[in-house]
Amino acid sequence: MKLLKLVPDDTNIAFLKWRIPFFVVSLVLIAASWALVAVNGLNYGVDFAGGQEIRATFVGEEEAPVAEIRDTVGSLEDVENPVIQRFGAPNQISIRVKLPPEAEGDKEFADRVSQEITTALEEGHPNVRIDGVDSVSGKVSGEFRDDAVWALIAAMLAVALYIWIRFEWQFGVGGLFALFHDVSLTLGMFALFQLEFSLQIIAAILAIIGYSLNDTIVVYDRIRENLKKYRKMPLPELLDLSVNETLARTVMTSLTLLVALVPLLLFGPESLFGLVAAITLGIFVGTYSSIYMAAPLLVWMSNRSAFAATVCGDRGWASTSLIPSAIASASRATMMPASGPSTTSRAPPASVMTSGVPQARASTQALASPSLDEGSTIASAADRTNGRRS
């Protein structure tokens, strides 16, 4: 029986051919997202804006009728977008209501809203017991907001540090920029549509960071493997090869998550809409950033490293690539004649280093072979690099 393959094995899409236009579009979207946050602001929920919190227990019932309570409280005149959740036992609930900006600090208005809610609950459910009524001040909510921001920043920096240690510093910079791209576009969506921004959305953004990190590391790990196999392949072609090799895994993972998220987005409860919308957007932008943000930056940072090496007078070809120094040393040892050390050492011409690279996947095997004929181009380049023993 043939297995289902969403992506053929011989897929060879030139992703990095369009890296500059897509990178420009991404920069524009990042700038537009932060402009929306600055102009429109975020629609903070009770967690970040303050308000009233009422805790109640439905005595004698196994579960609290959350849907019915949501309709009852939502129909009150002074209550907008109440957040109703089970709190503790199944028959206990927490009702949080955000106060309008003009009522900030107005204790009489806050007491009136609390009284309306408790009266509506007692009239519709005689067995309800009000366990407490609390006011969440704007100062405490501001501290929650600041802590959430620092948590996101710490998560992104920790991810970048991990990639730096696990791979190379260029990979860490690329991964950090990809995460910044994903978080920026998510915030831009919430600022544009004025969806409620609460602690649930912070959890969604952390989930987006985790998904994008996982996708980026899969691509980076394949890039590192191919750097060892195809040491003479130009970096853009090697990155295209690596992305195509991991494309089937990326598509399958994204579709599996969307199968679970789309029904929740369309038919799920309103209280989960913001959370599901954020994660759904994160799947698309996370996959996109792994291909068009994290990978192209390696090309540009590699060129910058080559320029720096030239300015410093280091003419060794291995120092201008993303191959770690240990791999570069092993590569030099492989190309050195077995009879003894070379008497001369000079860098191969740039034309030799960039020529003879195949475009198709089938012809990359010649680049991976450690032993080539003496008349081949790559062997000649190795001879000119290390010299012949006279």
Q: Is 349 exposed, middle or buried (0-12, 13-18, 19+ CB in 10 A)?
A: exposed
For the chain, residues classed under CATH 3.30.70.3400 are 51-136
CATH code for residues 51-136 = 3.30.70.3400
CATH code for residues 15-42+141-303 = 1.20.1640.10
The 3-class SS string of 126-177 reads CCEEEEEEEEECHHHHHHHHHHHHHHHHHHHHHHHHHHHHHCCHHHHHHHHH
Q: Indicate the helix (H) or strand (E) that contains 389.
A: none
How would you write the pLDDT of the chain (390 residues) with one tens digit per residue? 566 677 777 778 888 888 889 989 999 999 999 999 999 988 887 778 778 888 888 887 888 888 888 888 888 877 777 888 887 788 888 888 887 766 666 677 778 888 888 888 888 888 888 888 877 766 667 787 888 889 888 888 888 888 888 887 888 888 889 999 999 999 999 999 988 888 889 999 999 998 988 888 888 889 888 888 888 888 888 888 988 998 888 888 899 999 999 999 999 877 789 999 999 999 999 999 988 888 778 877 765 444 334 333 343 333 334 444 434 443 444 444 444 444 333 444 443 343 333 343 444 444 444 433 333 333 344 344 444 443
Which two tokens mark 197?
């921004």
Which two tokens mark 343?
């008497």
Q: What is the pTM of this model?
A: 0.67
- The amino acid sitting at 118 is T
For the chain, residues classed under CATH 1.20.1640.10 are 15-42+141-303
Task: Please tell me the distance from the alpha carbon of residue 295 to that of residue 309, in angstroms, as a whole number.
Answer: 22
